[in-house]
């Protein structure tokens, strides 16, 4: 089978069988299709590959979105007893433009090393597509029939162990409390006051650490405290019975992390905090602060759990 995928518009072209391409989307919480078109013209290229998995994504630059699709990918491979090391990401309509250079994805260590995929093969495929060359695939698999159930996912614990093993990560005997700080949007403007009130807590900016270290910090945390943001998605890798405390600006509200905590058996707690600059309608770009009452609520949660 000849295959070509545009690195700019994400158009997918098959040179043989007509296949259904698409899958479950965390945006719609339902299935969505990805457009495919016949070959417009024969392209050059003599790169051959034995097998390839096409895996759908919305983002590979946002960890909250990415983790949905990586778990679905793991689930698909295990349910179908597949051992495929070659993967190529495909994107739902309108999302390829947000990704930038796929070879420089900030989470490539998780996508490839963590999931056991071959980055060098992906690189060769991408380079062929980037110069408008087709490739020949002997056996093509398309992930298009697996969803994510936020009420019950028995394979979630195995998924975590799989990632830990591939990244050579181990649990430590002692677990600590982790406070995730932010710069810019949703930054806590009275952070110095908060640090004076809370002891025995490690304060970190996640972006200062490589992906592998970020996962390791979460897997060894007893409690994680942070303002709403994608970095809290690493709660997927926290141990059962640990606690995520999410701080929300103003009266804003989503269930992004409640869902993950539900299927990973992580305790979830929420504290509403004040908006310093900005407004509740655009809380993602606001800065925030905690008053004494909110600090006491947070302190009580940390002490009780």
Tally the C-alpha atoms within 13 A of residue 197's C-alpha that lie toward its C-beta: 19
Domain with CATH 3.40.50 in the chain: 176-304
Q: Which residues pair with 226 in a beta bridge?
A: 180, 246
Pairwise CA distance, residues 113 & 70, whole Å: 12
User: Where does residue 33 rank: exposed (0-12), middle (13-18), buried (19+ CB within 10 A)?
Assistant: middle
What is the side-by-side strand order in the sheet with 2-5? 36-38, 12-14, 2-5, 135-142, 47-57, 87-91
In the beta sheet, which residues pair with residue 14? Answer: 3, 38
d(CA 236, CA 240): 10
d(CA 274, CA 288): 5
Q: CATH assignment of 176-304?
A: 3.40.50
| pLDDT tens series, the chain, 305 aa | 888 998 888 888 887 666 678 899 999 899 988 878 776 666 677 899 999 999 999 999 999 999 999 999 999 999 999 999 999 999 998 899 889 999 999 999 999 999 999 999 999 999 999 998 999 999 999 988 899 999 999 999 999 999 999 999 999 988 999 999 999 999 999 999 999 988 889 999 999 999 999 999 999 999 999 999 999 999 999 999 999 999 999 887 888 999 999 999 999 999 999 999 998 889 989 999 999 999 999 999 988 75
pTM of the entire predicted model: 0.94
Look at residue 15 and give its three-state secondary structure: coil
Give the whole-angstrom CA distance, residue 290 versus residue 218. 24
| Rounded Cα gap, residues 74 and 56, in angstroms | 12
């Amino acid at each position: 089978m000849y295959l070509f995928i545009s690195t700019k518009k994400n158009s997918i072209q098959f040179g043989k069988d007509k296949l259904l391409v698409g899958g479950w989307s965390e945006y719609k919480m339902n299935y969505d299709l990805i457009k495919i078109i016949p070959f417009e013209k024969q392209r050059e290229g003599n790169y051959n590959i034995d097998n390839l998995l096409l895996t759908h994504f919305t983002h590979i630059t946002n960890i909250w979105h990415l983790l949905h699709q990586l778990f679905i990918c793991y689930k698909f491979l295990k349910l179908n007893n597949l051992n495929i090391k070659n993967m190529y990401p495909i994107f739902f309509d309108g999302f390829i433009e947000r990704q930038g250079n796929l070879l420089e994805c900030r989470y490539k260590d998780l996508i490839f090393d963590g999931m056991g995929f071959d980055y060098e093969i992906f690189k060769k495929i991408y380079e062929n597509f980037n110069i408008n060359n087709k490739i020949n695939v002997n056996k093509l698999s398309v992930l298009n029939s697996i969803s994510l159930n936020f009420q019950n996912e028995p394979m979630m614990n195995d998924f975590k162990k799989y990632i830990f093993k591939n990244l050579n990560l181990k649990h430590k005997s002692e677990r600590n409390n982790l406070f995730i700080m932010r710069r810019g949007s949703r930054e806590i403007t009275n952070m110095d006051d908060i640090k004076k009130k809370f002891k025995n807590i490690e304060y970190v900016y996640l972006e200062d650490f490589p992906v592998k270290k970020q996962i390791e910090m979460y897997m060894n945390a007893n409690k994680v405290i942070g303002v709403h943001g994608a970095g809290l998605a690493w709660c997927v890798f926290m141990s059962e019975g640990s606690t995520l405390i999410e701080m929300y600006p103003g009266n804003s509200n989503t269930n992004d992390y409640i869902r993950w905590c539900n299927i990973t058996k992580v305790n979830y707690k929420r504290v509403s905090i004040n908006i310093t600059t900005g407004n509740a309608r655009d809380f993602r770009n606001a800065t925030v602060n905690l008053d004494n009452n909110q600090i006491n609520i947070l302190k009580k949660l940390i002490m009780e759990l």
